[in-house]
A and B are shown apart, each in its own frame.
Chain A
Amino acid sequence: GNSVTQMEGPVTLSEEAFLTINCTYTATGYPSLFWYVQYPGEGLQLLLKATKADDKGSNKGFEATYRKETTSFHLEKGSVQVSDSAVYFCALKKNAGNQFYFGTGTSLTVIP
């Protein structure tokens, strides 16, 4: 079946620290991969995406590379800010279908 496994949280980092949130997936074929972010009191919004192997998605200083050989899409940021405090969701979408599969979310708190 299709599934996404995310690193469990919560994660607490100091400002300017390096962030990695691990995400691995199980899927047949070639899915598209996404990271969504949910700020407190808001809905999810797309952070970045990658549609094929070796693609790198990037936005707001965050990056993730689609690694087919390790079935991974880890989220990274070199220097986090307090404003990055949110819940981050990894997701996949099969290119031949309509359904999205979300991970359980990883809560990040950045302290000054």
Chain B
Amino acid sequence: DSGVTQTPKHLITATGQRVTLRCSPRSGDLSVYWYQQSLDQGLQFLIQYYNGEERAKGNILERFSAQQFPDLHSELNLSSLELGDSALYFCASSVRDLNTGELFFGEGSRLTVL
């Protein structure tokens, strides 16, 4: 158990809909990262937050947005969903901006868009 909690574990929805994925980082971790893992197994970095502030942005679509709340949990909002958004979405956390800090991953939220 990594200590990172993601909900829901599975989600099935229709095209055009909007969903929210939630992540609670490990206790004490200030950084939260979101990744998308597609069927070809590649991990795409979406966005990172540090203590409530956006820190780095990757290949995140304009239809997607995220935020980190004062209690440090984070939400990833996906809107106007398309079939191609079906993927596993991972949240990861790390302690701080430590030089050698490692990432701790949640078990992921599997999104299926029909």
B18 at the interface (CB under 8 A from A): no
Q: Is the CB of A44 within 8 A of B97?
A: no
Query: Which residue of the partner chain, among B42, B56, B105, B108, contacts A98 with CB atoms under 8 Å?
Result: B56
Query: Which residue from chain B places its CB closest to the CB of A105 in the assembled complex?
Result: B41
> Which of A's residues lie within 8 Å of B, judged by CB?
32, 34, 36, 41-46, 49, 51, 87, 89, 93, 95-102, 104-105, 107
Contacts of B106 in A (CB 8 A): 43
Shortest distance from the beta carbon of B72 to any chain A beta carbon, whole Å: 16
Give the interface size bracket for B toward A: 20 to 34
With A32-B99, A99-B48 known as contacts, the answer to whether A43 contacts B107 (CB < 8 A) is yes
Q: Is the CB of B31 within 8 A of A100?
A: no
**Residues from 36 to 92 in B contacting A, C-beta threshold 8 Å:** 40-43, 45, 48, 50, 55-56, 58, 90, 92
Which of the listed residues B41, B45, B90, B97 has the most CB atoms from chain A within 10 Å of its own CB?
A: B41
